[in-house]
Amino acid sequence: MTRTLEVRSGVYVDSVTLMQVSRRVAAVEGVDAALVAMATDLNLDLARGMGFEVPAGVGPNELLVAVDATGDAALAEALRRLDEALHEQRPAPTGFGAPPAALTVRAAARGLDPASAVALVSTPGRHAFSDAVDAVDAGLTTLVFSDNVPVEQEVALKRYAEQDGVLVMGPDCGTAVIGGVGLGFANVVRPGPVGIVAASGTGAQHLMCLLDGAGIGVTHCLGVGGRDLSEAVGGLSTLRALELLDADPDVELVVVVSKPPSPAVAEAVRRRAERLGTPVQLALLGPGRPDLTASAREVARSLGHEWSAPEHWAGAPGRGRPGGFLRGLYSGGTLCDEAMLVAGERLGPIASNIPLDPADALAPGLASRGHTMIDFGDDALTRGRPHPMIDGSLRVERLRAETADPTAGVLLLDVVLGHGADPDPAAGLAGPVQEAVAAGLPVVVCVVGSREDPQDLRRQCGRLTEAGAAVHRSNAAATRAALDLLEPAEEDR
Amino acid sequence: MRTPETVVTAGAALLADALDGQAVATRRVDWRPPSGDPAALAAVMGDRRRRPANAQALAAMLAAEACLVDVRPAAEVLGLEPGRFLHAGPPLDWARASGPLRGALVGAMLLEGLAGDPAEAERRLAAGDGVSWEPCHHHGGVGPMAGVVSPSMWVFELRDDVHGHTSWCTLNEGLGKVLRYGAYGPEVIDRLQWMGRVLGPLLQGAVRSAGPVDVRAIVAQMVQMGDEGHNRNRAGTLMFLRELLPALIDSGAPSRDVAEAVRFVSGNDHFFLNLVMPACKLQTRAAAGIPGSTVVTVMSRNGTDFGIQTSGTGERWFTAPANTPEGLYLGSYGPDDANPDIGDSAITETAGLGGMSMATAPAIVRFVGGSVPDALATTQRMYDITVGENPAFAIPILEFRGAPTGIDVTAVLRSGVLPQINTGMAGRVAGTGQVGAGLVTPPVECFTQALDALAAAT
């Protein structure tokens, strides 16, 4: 066995690209394991876990290359493939006198007209603030995709932007659509009269796709970040986004979508909404409040559109394992919230890493405990690795574990399509889903997508139903379908 | 809100690719993690004073004038008394002084008649016996290489009437065995004495009768003629001579003296450097002392330490051990002979000239170890770390884009790009003189320290 651990300085590559590079290196014949990653604490632990001794003083600005191969030839080939893959990623000046690639947002934004340009920042969370400030300085509407941005920095950033009247979306904002252009994770939806302000990424995607399915288009969808309606942030970007949408003549109806917000901030938003010329509908998730599908129906009604229930396709018939619990494995935080709200009405408390009530928090390690739902997009699970909508491997691992767990009764999953997301998520899920169904564990999937999404909604749904899953285009309906499959324990009958 | 035509993306390439898929133009940032304390960087970036303060700093730099108004002995201009010397770079004591700085101080002792021989001079300097020295920058001036100024040396006196500042610099001694490179042999002292006796008074008369000379205007022209103002000053020197030549000839001084002075100036391509430097000092000084500004106002080296100052932190030095330049060597000298970076001449880069404007000087890029495309790339790279451009210093090959001006501490740390400095190399051993010329950058620690201080002042 031949192993090597290299530390390269002066190289930075984003985590998604590194994941792709790692895969290419690991695919070399004779390579047993490969880790190509920035030397964050998490990744250093992974290297140690692979049995490597990591030299002292290595920091997160350095690139870690750890390869475990069966022989020298394989190792050499792996390193060659690595250099090839890394080299492809480096933008280089072309031609005599061509300017080198911009190294900062400020440099890239120089000379751009703020009316026709926006900025999309997805740098690591501890650095994203400065990059966003650059974009605000240039007057650009700014979407901060990065997560793990400290809340104090979020407040500072939004206050900084406020003085210039610039809209900051995010941080931790996965989704925005501006004038038909999708930023981050965005579905391809028709243009239309609805403007969305979303303190929730997947919630916004779900609403857009439900509306699109009902023939209703969206002008803009402004993702303000999951914390915007929290006490700390106080709706700074929501209020700004409301004004921008109110000023847009193409917007006939504004919808505010949010995970369960702070009541005081929700009230402030309500008061501001009442003063706008454009009607505003609040779709704020919470106990006893309408789910996203009900909100979409309400939007359709307000605009005089017909509404029919979102499509669904039955999977393999069957019931849940007797006495088993509901297990929800989500990539979308708001979808997970919504599922817990819907399921909680029937099942009571649900354990989670993003629990509705802190008392229901899962212990570190996130082992399932009774009815359990996990948001794999939570900050703690994405530090130093791509979002589960890009890389579903962590969730697939868990899916297999739940299949093997006799206490799992029914599985509930989401699959989110659109720009930015995995180009073929069903491909990775079909096998494990089939195994689960074969093991007597029914699987219900909510697919969030539009007909025009690059992944091909029909093909994705078809692949999942073929694997035996029941597929719904409404998350609330999927959750209720999963609940219907739960087989109560003998003693409860 | 309109449909965006361009999206600036920083971070995951996948998200930028998704925009390509929607036929939206992307400007992709080749992002890398910043240096320095992330909390300090966030504090400074989030400081609301920063943007207006930097705009003000840039505006002041662009507005600064630089006219040569007089040529006088340092004793007169600076009130410098016997035994007091000035030098380049941040302050330091004899124990830490480099070979060239020690050599130059020895030479100055000999010139001022404070010691009979080099050994005695060294003894008195080491003991601090009736002697003291401090940075030129502390008196608003600049000194090339060791930058040693003694009372009897003559200096150019420049004035910025817009901001009411004066700056000064010694007269350039030529190349090879010269005091500023730490040489102090008899020919060095003889030349300095001739400069004080003949050259200084001749220039003084010419400037007083034909002046003031608009140095900034000459710099603007030299930049268009292939001089970057630090390692190449050939066009500037000749233009300067052209300004004063009639007055020199008319001065009534013996024609032998005039001819010798003209031969000396025109035979030394760097003569004008000593006017570019104080002009740059006037420009950067105009930007000094603006609270919240992250613009660098001084970059300077004493042969041991590199030091910078920023606008928002006043006259405080941020120092770290100086790097040793890389480049080409004279004669049989090699890397082992070179002293670490030395001189106040990095004031030219601080003002956007020199290495920052390398693209304008294709004739020297090979001398300082590069190709023409490298030079073009270097200057374009410098725009990433500067607040703006100086339209007065227009670079023809970059479509007359202005020199990159106003180095921003935050941009340096965030891009990982350090200011490019073109420089001469002094011999490590006192008394050697020049051994080569090349390229150097400041140590990053100067900038991380400045960032911490700027953060503490938010």
Instruction: Tell me what the mean pLDDT of segment A90-115 comes to.
Output: 83
Q: Is the pLDDT of residue A10 over 80?
A: no
The Cα B421–Cα B443 span in angstroms is: 12
Specify the pLDDT at position A197.
97
Q: Which of A122, A244, A450 to mutate to test the interface with B (most CBs of B within 10 A)?
A: A122
Q: Compute the nearest-CA separation of A357 from chain B (Å).
A: 32
Instruction: Tell me what the mean pLDDT of segment A292-304 comes to.
Output: 96
Show residues of chain B in contact with A164, CB under 8 Å: none
Q: Compute the nearest-CA separation of A129 from chain B (Å).
A: 7
Radius of gyration of chain A (CA): 23
Instruction: Tell me what the mean pLDDT of segment A54-83 comes to.
Output: 86
In a domain, B339, yes or no: yes
Question: In terms of domains, do B244 and B378 share one?
Answer: no
Q: Does B396 touch chain A (CB under 8 A)?
A: no
Specify the pLDDT at position A265.
96
Instruction: Tell me what the mean pLDDT of segment A216-241 comes to.
Output: 95
Q: Which residues contact A153 (CB under 8 A, 6 or more apart)?
A: A129, A171, B42, B46
- Nearest residue on chain B to A93, judged by CA atoms? B377
Element (H, E) at B395: strand B386-395
Q: Which residues contact A56 (CB under 8 A, 6 or more apart)?
A: none
Tokens of B256: 């032998």
CB contact (8 A) between residue A117 and residue B10: no
The Cα B330–Cα B395 span in angstroms is: 29
- Nearest residue on chain A to B9, judged by CA atoms? A120
Using alpha carbons only, what angle is made at residue B304 by residues B302 and B309, rounded to the nearest 5 degrees? Answer: 55
Closest CA to A345 of A289, A295, A287: A287
Specify the pLDDT at position B445.
97
B398-409 burial: b if 16+ Cβ within 10 Å, else e = beebbbbbbbbb
Specify the pLDDT at position B406.
98
In a domain, B2, yes or no: no
Task: Give strand pairing partners of A183.
Answer: A176
Q: Is the pLDDT of residue A92 over 60?
A: no
Q: Is the pLDDT of residue A49 over 60?
A: yes
Specify the pLDDT at position B231.
92
Task: Output the CA–CA distances (angstroms, integers) from residue B84 to B167, B341, B366, in the order listed.
Answer: 19, 24, 40
Specify the pLDDT at position B264.
96
Q: Is the pLDDT of residue A387 over 60?
A: yes
Which of B277, B305, B334 terminates a domain? The answer is B277
Q: Is the pLDDT of residue B260 over 80?
A: yes
First vs last C-alpha separation in chain B: 34
Count of C-beta atoms within a 10 Å radius of residue A58: 17
The Cα B300–Cα B305 span in angstroms is: 8
Specify the pLDDT at position A93.
56
Specify the pLDDT at position B369.
66
Residues of chain B above pLDDT 90, percent: 86
Using alpha carbons only, what angle is made at residue A114 by residues A110 and A119, rounded to the nearest 5 degrees? Answer: 75
The Cα diameter of chain A in Å comes to: 80
CB contact (8 A) between residue B8 and residue A135: yes
Q: Does B437 touch chain A (CB under 8 A)?
A: no
In a domain, B206, yes or no: yes
Q: Is the pLDDT of residue A492 over 60?
A: no
Q: Is the pLDDT of residue A205 over 50?
A: yes
Residue A443 — left, alpha, or beta (φ > 0 → left; ψ -120 to 50 → alpha)? beta
Average pLDDT of chain A is: 91
Specify the pLDDT at position A94.
61
CATH number, domain of B389, equals 3.90.1700.10
Show residues of chain B in contact with A135, CB under 8 Å: 8
Q: What is the pLDDT of residues A440-467, one digit of tens each?
A: 999 999 999 999 999 999 999 999 999 9
Tokens of B440: 């150097």
**Full residue range of the structural domain in which residue B11 is found:** 7-31
Q: What is the pLDDT of residues B192-207, one digit of tens each?
A: 999 999 999 999 999 9
Q: Which of A87, A94, A106 to mutate to test the interface with B (most CBs of B within 10 A)?
A: A106
Which among B1, B29, B38 is the nearest to A103, CB-wise?
B29
The size of the A-B interface in CB pairs under 8 A is 196
In a domain, B153, yes or no: yes
- Nearest residue on chain B to A131, judged by CA atoms? B10
Q: Which of B30, B54, B398, B420 to mutate to test the interface with A (most CBs of A within 10 A)?
A: B30
Question: In terms of domains, do B249 and B107 share one?
Answer: yes
Tokens of A64: 């870690």
β-bridge pairing A218-223 and A194-199: parallel
Q: Is the pLDDT of residue A172 over 90?
A: no
Higher pLDDT, B424 or A461: A461
Question: In terms of domains, do B216 and B294 share one?
Answer: no
CATH number, domain of B240, equals 3.90.1710.10
Work out the pLDDT band at A17, boundaries 50, 70, 90: confident
Q: Could you tell me the pTM of the whole model?
A: 0.89
CB-CB contact of B399 with B287 (8 Å): no
Higher pLDDT, A492 or A215: A215
Question: In terms of domains, do B103 and B52 share one?
Answer: no
Question: In terms of domains, do B355 and B430 share one?
Answer: yes
CB-CB contact of A225 with A235 (8 Å): no
Specify the pLDDT at position A444.
97
Q: Does A386 touch chain B (CB under 8 A)?
A: yes
Residues carrying CATH 3.40.50.261, chain A: 105-303, 312-485
Closest CA to B402 of B224, B237, B210: B224
- Nearest residue on chain B to A103, judged by CA atoms? B30
In eight-state DSSP terms, residue B322 is P
Q: Does B444 touch chain A (CB under 8 A)?
A: no
Q: Does domain A2-89 have CATH number 1.10.8?
A: no
Q: What ipTM was predicted for this assembly?
A: 0.91
In a domain, B37, yes or no: no
Q: What is the pLDDT of residues B212-252, one digit of tens each?
A: 999 999 999 999 999 999 999 999 999 999 999 999 999 99
- Which B residues in the span 405-434 are in contact with A, Cβ-Cβ below 8 Å? 410-411, 414-417
Task: Output the CA–CA distances (angstroms, integers) from residue A491 to A321, A323, A487, A488, in the order listed.
Answer: 14, 9, 11, 8
The backbone torsions φ and ψ at residue B342, rounded to the nearest 5 degrees and listed phi first, read -145, 145
Specify the pLDDT at position B5.
94
In a domain, B316, yes or no: yes
Question: In terms of domains, do B231 and B252 share one?
Answer: yes
3-state secondary structure chain A: CEEEEEEECCCCCCHHHHHHHHHHHHCCCCEEEEEEEECCHHHHHHHHHCCCCCCCCCCCCCEEEEEEECCHHHHHHHHHHHHHHHHHHCCCCCCCCCCCCCCCHHHHHCCCCCCCEEEEEECCHHHHHHHHHHHHHCCCEEEECCCCCCHHHHHHHHHHHHCCCCCEECCCCCEEEECCEEEECECCCCCCCEEEEEECHHHHHHHHHHHHHCCCCEEEEEECCCCCCCCCCCCHHHHHHHHHHHCCCCCCEEEEEECCCCHHHHHHHHHHHHHCCCCEEEEECCCCCCCHHHHHHHHHHHCCCCCCCCCEECCCCCCCCCCCEEEEEECCHHHHHHHHHHHHHHHCCCEECCCCCHHHECCCCCCCCCCEEEECCCHHHHCCCCCCCCCCHHHHHHHHHHHHCCCEEEEEEEEECCECCCCCHHHHHHHHHHHHHHCCCCEEEEEECCCCCCCCHHHHHHHHHHCCCEEECCHHHHHHHHHHHCCCCHHHC
Q: Compute the nearest-CA separation of B340 from chain A (Å).
A: 24
Count of C-beta atoms within a 10 Å radius of residue A304: 6
Instruction: Tell me what the mean pLDDT of segment B124-132 comes to.
Output: 95
Which of B277, B311, B329 terminates a domain? The answer is B277
Show residues of chain B in contact with A123, CB under 8 Å: 10-11, 31
Question: In terms of domains, do B56 and B124 share one?
Answer: no
Q: What is the pLDDT of residues B269-295, one digit of tens each?
A: 999 999 999 999 999 999 999 999 999
Specify the pLDDT at position B176.
80
Question: In terms of domains, do B222 and B368 share one?
Answer: no
In total, how many domains does chain B have?
Answer: 3
In eight-state DSSP terms, residue B66 is -
CB contact (8 A) between residue B12 and residue A145: yes
Count of C-beta atoms within a 10 Å radius of residue B445: 15
The CATH superfamily label for domain A105-303 reads Succinyl-CoA synthetase domains (3.40.50.261)
Q: Does A262 touch chain B (CB under 8 A)?
A: no
Higher pLDDT, A31 or A243: A243
Q: Is the pLDDT of residue A90 over 70?
A: no
Q: Does B32 touch chain A (CB under 8 A)?
A: yes
Question: Number of C-alpha atoms within 13 angstroms, CB side, residue A107?
Answer: 26
Instruction: Tell me what the mean pLDDT of segment B363-383 comes to.
Output: 86
Q: Is the pLDDT of residue A236 over 80?
A: yes
* CA dihedral for A386, A392, A393, A397, sign (positive or negative): positive
CB contact (8 A) between residue B1 and residue A220: yes
Q: Does A295 touch chain B (CB under 8 A)?
A: no
Q: Is the pLDDT of residue A57 over 80?
A: yes
Question: In terms of domains, do B201 and B294 share one?
Answer: no
Q: Which residues contact A401 (CB under 8 A, 6 or more apart)?
A: none
Show residues of chain B in contact with A145, CB under 8 Å: 11-12, 15
Residues of chain A above pLDDT 90, percent: 66
Element (H, E) at B329: strand B326-329
Instruction: Tell me what the mean pLDDT of segment B146-170 comes to.
Output: 97
Instruction: Tell me what the mean pLDDT of segment B20-49 comes to.
Output: 94
In a domain, B230, yes or no: yes
Question: In terms of domains, do B115 and B162 share one?
Answer: yes
- Which A residues in the span 41-80 are in contact with B, Cβ-Cβ below 8 Å? 60-61
Which of B256, B277, B298 terminates a domain? The answer is B277
Task: Give strand pairing partners of B7.
Answer: A118, B26
In eight-state DSSP terms, residue B141 is -
Work out the pLDDT band at A493, boundaries 50, 70, 90: very low
In a domain, B122, yes or no: yes
Q: Is B16 helix (H, G, I), strand (E, B) or coil?
A: helix
Question: In terms of domains, do B55 and B15 share one?
Answer: no
Q: Which residues contact B270 (CB under 8 A, 6 or more apart)?
A: B172, B174, B175, B233, B237
Which among B15, B415, B416 is the nearest to A420, CB-wise?
B15
Show residues of chain A in contact with B12, CB under 8 Å: 14-17, 122, 145, 386
- Nearest residue on chain B to A91, judged by CA atoms? B30
Q: Is the pLDDT of residue A317 over 70?
A: no
Q: Compute the nearest-CA separation of B438 from chain A (Å).
A: 22
The Cα A266–Cα A252 span in angstroms is: 22
Q: Does A155 touch chain B (CB under 8 A)?
A: no
Residues carrying CATH 3.30.70, chain A: 2-89
Count of C-beta atoms within a 10 Å radius of residue B163: 16
CB contact (8 A) between residue A419 and residue B29: no
- Which A residues in the span 86-125 are in contact with B, Cβ-Cβ below 8 Å? 89-91, 93, 96-97, 99-110, 112, 115-124
Q: Which of A169-173, A480-484, B363-367 bottoms out in mean pLDDT, i.e. has the lowest? A: B363-367
Q: Which of A14, A120, A175, A178 to mutate to test the interface with B (most CBs of B within 10 A)?
A: A120
Q: Does B39 touch chain A (CB under 8 A)?
A: no
Question: In terms of domains, do B344 and B260 share one?
Answer: no
Average pLDDT of chain B is: 95
The CATH superfamily label for domain A312-485 reads Succinyl-CoA synthetase domains (3.40.50.261)
Which among A100, A119, A124 is the nearest to B380, CB-wise?
A100
Q: Is the pLDDT of residue B351 over 50?
A: yes
Specify the pLDDT at position A59.
82
CB-CB contact of A286 with A263 (8 Å): no
Element (H, E) at B155: strand B154-160
